[in-house]
A and B are shown apart, each in its own frame.
Chain A
Amino acid sequence: MIRFESVTKEYADGTVAVDGLDLVAPNGQITVLVGPSGCGKTTTLRMVNRMIEPTRGVISIDDQDTAAMDPATLRRGIGYVIQHAGLFPHRTVTANIATVPLLLGWDRKRAKARAHELMELVGLDASFARRYPHQLSGGQQQRVGVARALAADPPVMLMDEPFSAVDPVVREQLQDEFLRLQSELGKTILFVTHDIDEAIKLGDQVAVLRVGGRIAQAAPPAALLEDPYDDFVADFVGRDRGYRGLSFRHAELEPRVEPTVLLGERASGEGWRLVVDDQRRPVGWVEPKRLTGAVQESDLHRGGTVARIDGSLRAALDAALSSPSRRGVVVDADGALIGTVRASEVLALIEGAAS
């Protein structure tokens, strides 16, 4: 757990970057600091590992005052991931990852084995082990950066806009994998971003900061969307709050049975038919009266998204809205078809859940 007690950072020329911050980042959770430029989020992060020293106030990790510890020792116990990875260009991927363990005195063999273990964990193929950073793409470099931070298995991680410097497709992949990693590892993470959507997606707790370093609201993301504290937070969180909030809401979906046709067989009937593969996984929709002969892959209409039975109401609603037949496909955890829902049914659930 990271605790901030009245933490302030004031510079010599009078600028106040952080103003009397009180915050607790609970164990095993991702706490996101988000806000506009100049709100002090990065400054706050860097005060935890004393890259910047607070002017006033106390920061403690698991009730130990960070100011009382030797900075280098403190930092070796905290994972640190920054925006452009900051990999050492003169060292291989393995050597980069093994940095902190070696600093801590592990023997080479153990450190190397640990590096390989982590490469697998972050989804890097073993063939990358002896490559150099300049041979890696931005996304790959960031994975190495995360692996490097995890190497000595620190309980706490500080992450400063780690996914901002990559393109949106890669960013989404990294975010998803990061969430998967966290579900396995359960670290206490303080995460800084300027992107409210990233904050909402990743955070267990989101602290919105104002310019001048004060917390406007600190709450779970659903609460931020449903109940913003003031206009500043409401504006910062942005539009479409209702829809976005649906991502956090779940209900018992009751899909109806949907007739299907197997890929490669002939289809018949009016309207749209759902096509599945031999494992009952939906692959697309077809209109039988437009077909001649058996259903081919090229005949498939793939517009509809697919919702999981245990997924959010937002996914279910989107499945219904995007499907050409207006029947949203619902699948189980293995991706096999359960049935379909209509938008009106999902809306009824939404309204029912609200009351």
Chain B
Amino acid sequence: MTWLQDHWSDVFELLGQHVYLAGVPLVLGLLVAVPLGWVAQRLPRLRTPIVVGTGLLYTVPSIALFILMPSILGTGILDPVNVLVSMTIYTVALLTRTASDALEAVPESVRLSADAMGVKPLRRLFTVDLPLAVPVLAAGLRVAAVSNVSIVSVAALIGVPQLGQLFTDGFSRDFMDPLAVGVVGCLVLALVFDLVIVVLARLATPWHQGRTA
């Protein structure tokens, strides 16, 4: 793997970009999806439109969304913001339903006890519902993370730098090494994201006894 040794700093930079483009949307997406999911769960009439609406967004192929973003946002085509916003949309699309399901999964008896003790709905959301919803949310987040890592690589076609660029590089030069490094890099990154989420979820739920999310 001499190629890798020679180009280590380049690969590292692309890796950093990739982490940024795949990771930030996870956080942003979570911040949007949880309130949306909460609304969907509390107001059953809105549930179907919200879930179906976000589901439809996920249907749009990523390359198409990356290309259409500039006309919506008014940015240039090479601007990484296109990718960032698109990925956030995908994350929201994936996570809204999960968030709604996760909040739904909080045991009715727990919710009722909290209400009966006089805990206000919003406070209950933060102190009771969300902590208990963490396992399901974490599972959804893991799927989103892995998904994001692999989708971001497609942005190489529109020239946005990240690990996917190794694919286009390798292909245009008919050279397998960058391709292999790129694929392995994506897989490793997906694995790292997955582990980080698992660890964070464990930390956030000290009462859980190692049950798989």
State if A and B touch, Cβ cutoff 8 Å.
no
Interface set of B (CB-CB < 8 Å, partner A): none
Chain A interfacial positions (CB closer than 8 Å to B): none
